[in-house]
């Protein structure tokens, strides 16, 4: 119960890695503020997390004894971000840890010169600026209480390039840069900021994950065979499990990593070691 007595706000919590993190934090005693957009976005070619999926995540967390509230928020909106944090404060008084999990993998699948202004803006506004907006809303609470932890879910795309994913790669590289700069800004006040870089994560039905399948579609990879194709690129010959990422996020958010800030923790089965 290493998160007992702490409130954790998780964006992108309706499914996928957000749900995996939420249930793992619930098992460790955290109170939870679960945030997702609750609707689809024009320009994103796959469904985003729904209200019903967010409610299901909340139910899973409550089954572990967690106190949970939910909020619908688009991280492209500063007002939505502030409203979600206000809900957290009204219910729990503060936020001890923020997990920035909201993000999109598409629109992608194009060379740099083929990306439209709108596609570029949508990707960067969601995956990079969205995390900054949530930090802007949450970090003042952490400063006032004398500490806290921010975990930004980046990607191996924040460390290396991927063909036909320039917008995603640029946003995730930027997120790691934001992490390092913010870590230096807030280190004297004991607010830690770290980045977590997952490799290819299996699309686990229990968390309704679909990110790998959408990446495969963007790359024109046969969806029926996509997991096996991605396994072939992994030095450990297996995909990352959602709970592997949740465990890493838990460590970064908790007291065991109290001297860790500005770091990039890569969970990729050795992919970026080559």
List all residues 6 or more positions away from 220 whose beta carbon is below 8 Å from its beta carbon.
109
- Give mean pLDDT, residues 149-154: 98
Q: What percent of the chain has pLDDT over 90?
A: 84
Beta strands in the chain (DSSP E): 7-11, 31-36, 68-72, 97-100, 148-153, 191-198, 264-267
- Give mean pLDDT, residues 249-263: 98
54 has pLDDT over 70:
yes
**pTM attached to this predicted model:** 0.95
211 has pLDDT over 90:
no
Give the whole-angstrom CA distance, residue 52 versus residue 248.
Answer: 27
CA-nearest of 262, 259, 129 to 183 is 262
Is 168 catalytic? The answer is: yes
11 band by pLDDT with thresholds 50, 70 and 90: very high
151 has pLDDT over 70:
yes
120 has pLDDT over 90:
yes
Which ranges of 160-225 does DSSP label H, i.e. alpha helix? Answer: 166-186, 211-218
- Give mean pLDDT, residues 232-253: 93
In the prediction, which pLDDT does 219 show?
74
Whether 202 contacts 154, CB under 8 Å: no
- Give mean pLDDT, residues 94-105: 97
223 has pLDDT over 70:
no
User: Average pLDDT, whole number, for the chain?
Assistant: 94
203 band by pLDDT with thresholds 50, 70 and 90: confident
Whether 131 contacts 101, CB under 8 Å: no
Catalytic residue among 46, 162, 168, 186: 168
- Give mean pLDDT, residues 146-174: 96
CA-nearest of 216, 203, 265 to 16 is 203
In the prediction, which pLDDT does 233 show?
81
In the structure encoding, which two tokens stand for residue 173, read together? Answer: 């590289």
221 band by pLDDT with thresholds 50, 70 and 90: confident
Q: What single DSSP character describes residue 137?
A: H
- Give mean pLDDT, residues 32-36: 98
List all residues 6 or more positions away from 229 whose beta carbon is below 8 Å from its beta carbon.
216, 221, 222
């Amino acid at each position: 119960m290493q998160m007992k007595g702490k409130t954790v706000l998780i964006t992108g919590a309706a499914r996928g890695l957000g749900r995996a993190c939420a249930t793992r934090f619930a098992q460790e005693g955290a109170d939870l503020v679960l945030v997702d957009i609750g609707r689809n976005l024009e320009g994103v070619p796959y469904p985003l997390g729904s209200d019903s999926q967010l409610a299901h995540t909340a139910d899973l967390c409550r089954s572990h004894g967690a106190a949970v509230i939910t909020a619908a928020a688009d991280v492209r909106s500063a007002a939505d971000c502030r409203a979600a944090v206000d809900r957290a404060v009204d219910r729990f008084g503060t936020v001890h840890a923020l997990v920035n999990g909201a993000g999109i993998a598409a629109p992608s699948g194009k060379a740099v010169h083929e990306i439209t202004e709108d596609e570029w803006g949508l990707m960067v506004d969601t995956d990079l600026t969205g995390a900054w907006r949530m930090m802007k809303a949450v970090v003042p609470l952490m400063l006032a209480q004398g500490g806290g932890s921010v975990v930004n879910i980046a990607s191996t795309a924040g460390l290396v390039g991927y063909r036909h994913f320039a917008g995603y790669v640029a946003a995730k590289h930027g997120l790691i840069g934001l992490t390092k700069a913010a870590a230096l800004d807030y280190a004297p006040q004991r607010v830690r900021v770290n980045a977590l870089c997952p490799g290819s994560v299996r699309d686990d039905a229990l968390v309704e994950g679909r990110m790998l399948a959408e990446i495969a579609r963007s790359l024109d990879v046969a969806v029926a065979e996509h997991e096996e194709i991605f396994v072939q690129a992994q030095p450990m010959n297996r995909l990352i499990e959602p709970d592997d990422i949740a465990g890493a996020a838990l460590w970064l958010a908790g007291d065991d990593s109290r001297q860790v800030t500005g770091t990039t923790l890569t969970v990729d089965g050795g992919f970026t070691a080559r």
